[in-house]
Amino acid sequence: MAFVHPHPFVFLLILLPISAVAQNDADYVNVGDSLTATDENNTSWLSPSGDFAFGFSPLDQKDLFLLSIWFAKIPEKTVVWNARLDNPVPRGSKVELITDRGLVLTGPQNDELWTTNSTGTFFGFMNNTGNFVLEDSNYNKLWESFKNPSDTMLPAQIMERGGVLSSRQSETNFSKGRFQLQLGDNGNLVLQTINLPTDNPNEAYYESQTTAGDNGTLSPGKELVFNESGYMYIMKDDNQRVALRPARVESTADFYFRATLNFDGVFTQCSHPRTSNASGSWNPIWSVPDNICVNSNAKTGSGTCGFNSICTLKPDRRPMCTCPKGYSFLDPNDPYGTCKPDFIQGCAEDELGPGKDLYYFEVLKNIDWPFSDYAYMKPYTEDQCKKSCMEDCMCAVAIFRSGDSCWKKKLPLSNGKVDSNLNGGLAFFKIRNNNSITLPDDRLPNPKPENKNQNNLILMWSMLLGGSVFVNIILIAAICLGVFFIYHKRLKRPILNVDAVEMNLLCFTYKELVEATDGFKEELGRGAFGIVYKGAIQMSSNVLVAVKKLDSLFQENSDKEFKTEVTVIGQTHHKNLVRLLGFCDEGLHRLLVYEFLSNGTLASFLYRDSKPSWNLRVQIAVGIARGLLYLHEECSTQIIHCDIKPQNILLDDYYNARISDFGLAKRLILNQSKTHTNIRGTKGYVAPEWFRNMPITTKVDVYSYGVMLLEIICSRRSVNLETIGEQQAILTDWAYDCYQEGRLDSLVEYDVEALDDRRKLVRFVMVAIWCIQEDPFLRPTMRRATQMLEGVVEVPVPPSPYPYSKTS
């Protein structure tokens, strides 16, 4: 008798009920099912109980989402798992279940962002424990979120040896942070910081002490178990249990539980009431370590908080990070990050000071940075300790303890903490006096020149009245010659005023600059705000300068406004910015005097017949990024350039990139009136938000930098409608097409040097595409762009930079 093959659908009907029983009545996700990131309610797959949801969780940032699992019945959304990505995904992203890939996350342009790589996937389901599982047709688990955790464990979840939890970067930033919980191969559960972007760990600041041989047993830990009753313990090879904390836990029937490695490094178990409306909040049950500030003693890395900071334990046993007086957070948006000094300290800088009273001490009690010592003196008195640090240009802090012990420490300071066990030990924190930074001798003004001249005249007239006629005639002649030479010399030397000294700038007269430029004879270039001329000024030697005459548009600004803006620019100090030497503010004449850079503009360097060296172009691109990062985040007042282009990048003798024209365009134009807030910048480099009535932020500079980065990579203009075909005329379009189609050799016109460094070439092109995204929210900050260029962080696959334009 012939065997009749039943339809495959019959098998499916038979298998599904069995699987449903086996998998806790889960609702199945079949191959081909997908979710799309929108604001609608169909953006998640729920567990049968409705307690957990898998899908796209909207973030506070506009149009950005997180692929995650969360408690679905709690009003305050609590994420317990997320697909660890460097950036959230934009609206329109999709996750789909595919047979040979498992879950696949793609962006709006169908670019793959993440996958489980689960070959042979038959179906998936979100179960009632909060675990999302993928299985094959034989019900073998191919992938599950419990085995790939982010920062949280849930009841019924087990971590085996080698398992890791990684903290997020901050409360709202879900990318990988610098703390991890790991069950080592030796069975020891440890908390430690890691050195991002690698996973290389520092010394542990918490250990469970469950390695072989501990506690009189040879049995090491094999699993970290969070059981269904809400208890967490380490199961050893001999099945003994070691509780992390002997805490009483409420009933799982009445409460939700989670154990999370917080962004600040504290591992905490929390509970939340399971009421009908899920009111209440997450309450901590226990946490480890007891005092993360004191326990963190890694010899490498910054410790719990960033470098140069102080860790204090709050009443909830979570750390608080603060900067000492005279220091501030390097990133104002990261209150757990590194602190930077708000003053200049160093041996070379100290030599420019008055020689005494450069610094004073801020005295702190029971505070230490235990691993930053470079000198230890004993026996030493408190006065000797302070004096030794004050006279040592490398010393940042002196610690005096135990009545006769002195430690000198230098920056950066690590593992800073408040510790009552120090028994009143004193920390003498060295802070520079505000008025102790002075100019070199050849730049110092002559104080009160009018008084000095007046005293000289009184002396001369006394001599005249007391001498003979013949002597008087000779003296008069000598005085006339002296006056002539004095004033002639004054015309050749820059004159300083008190305000200029305070901002380390020279104040020139208009006559001096006319003479310095030989009547504004040699023009170096023209910009939106004036003409630049070459000149020479006699200081300690003959110094070449570039003098910029601001056009009449700037005459509407008051003297006070002009000087305020010049002061801000005068206070910027970075090797990738053109240095402002001085200014002239005299009637209708307003001029800026910059250092002269011999190798001209980046435009003349790039747009020439022979291609410049690839390594030189890389150096220039990174230098410009660092300069913009300084303007955006690190100088005293944020500066948005608004006109980044190769013509505004100058090159010094060693082809180091220097950004010019920074600050004045934004400060003297943008905020004056509605008329002047129209589009600023140069065609081809202008960010789309200028045309869309959107807020203007530092992201306009990021866009312009992205265009210019492509020019540097390809050594060509961003728009070329004359010498090449229409397909390649717009560089931004051409670059993305080449990247998407894998034709970077065409993009760089088969540049051998660039193609030999293909990994860096690909990375630079990807960074440029991220920078030129039409949506400013998708563009990286200049800090992130710089890190990606330098290879410090991974560069995610960029989406199409112009989704709006394509669809319209």
Residues annotated within a binding site for ATP:
549
Answer yes or no: are the C-beta atoms of 82 and 130 closer than 8 Å. Answer: no
d(CA 630, CA 783): 9
Distance (Å) of CA 387 to CA 374, 400, 621, 703? 16, 12, 45, 51
The torsion angles phi and psi of 703, rounded to 5 degrees, stand at -60, -50
First to last CA, the chain: 64
In 72-173, DSSP assigns E strands to 79-82, 89-90, 94-98, 102-106, 112-115, 123-126, 132-135, 141-144, 152-153, 157-160, 164-168
Look at residues 506, 662, 469 and name the one whose alpha carbon lies nearest to residue 582: 506
d(CA 687, CA 100): 41
Task: Give the number of other CB atoms < 10 A from CB of residue 378.
Answer: 9
The token pair at 23 is 């998998």
d(CA 594, CA 602): 17
Distance (Å) of CA 392 to CA 187, 371, 435? 47, 19, 19
The torsion angles phi and psi of 399, rounded to 5 degrees, stand at -110, 125
Q: Which helix (H) or strand (E) holds 432?
A: strand 426-432
Amino acid at 720: N
Contacts of 596 (CB under 8 A, 6+ apart): 534, 543, 544, 545, 546
The torsion angles phi and psi of 661, rounded to 5 degrees, stand at 60, 30
d(CA 309, CA 592): 39
d(CA 797, CA 611): 28
Strand partners, 525: 532
Secondary structure (3-state) at 564: helix
Q: Is 643 labeled as catalytic in the residue annotation? A: yes
- The conformation of residue 336, written as its DSSP 8-state character, comes to T
d(CA 103, CA 124): 9
Please state whether the peptide bond connecting residue 246 to the residue before it is cis, i.e. omega within 30 degrees of 0: no
631-634 contacts, C-beta under 8 A, 24 or more apart: 631/572, 631/577, 631/659, 631/662, 631/663, 631/701, 632/698, 632/701, 632/781, 632/782, 632/783, 633/331, 633/781, 633/782, 633/783, 634/330, 634/574
Residue that the structure tokens 């699987």 belong to? 19
The token pair at 279 is 């009111």
Residue that the structure tokens 């879950």 belong to? 103
Catalytic residue chosen out of the listed positions 214, 643, 661, 751: 643
Amino acid at 141: K
d(CA 222, CA 26): 30
User: Residue ranges of the alpha helices (H) in 91-233?
Assistant: none
Look at residues 417, 439, 648 and name the one whose alpha carbon lies nearest to residue 528: 648
The token pair at 389 is 């640090």
Look at residues 138, 154, 136 and name the one whose alpha carbon lies nearest to residue 146: 154
The torsion angles phi and psi of 123, rounded to 5 degrees, stand at -165, 170
Q: Are strands 310-313 and 283-288 parallel, antiparallel or unpaired?
A: unpaired
Task: Give the number of other CB atoms < 10 A from CB of residue 207.
Answer: 18
Q: Summarize the annotated binding site as residue ranges.
A: 549
In 561-618, DSSP assigns E strands to 580-586, 589-595
d(CA 673, CA 648): 25
Residues known to be catalytic:
643
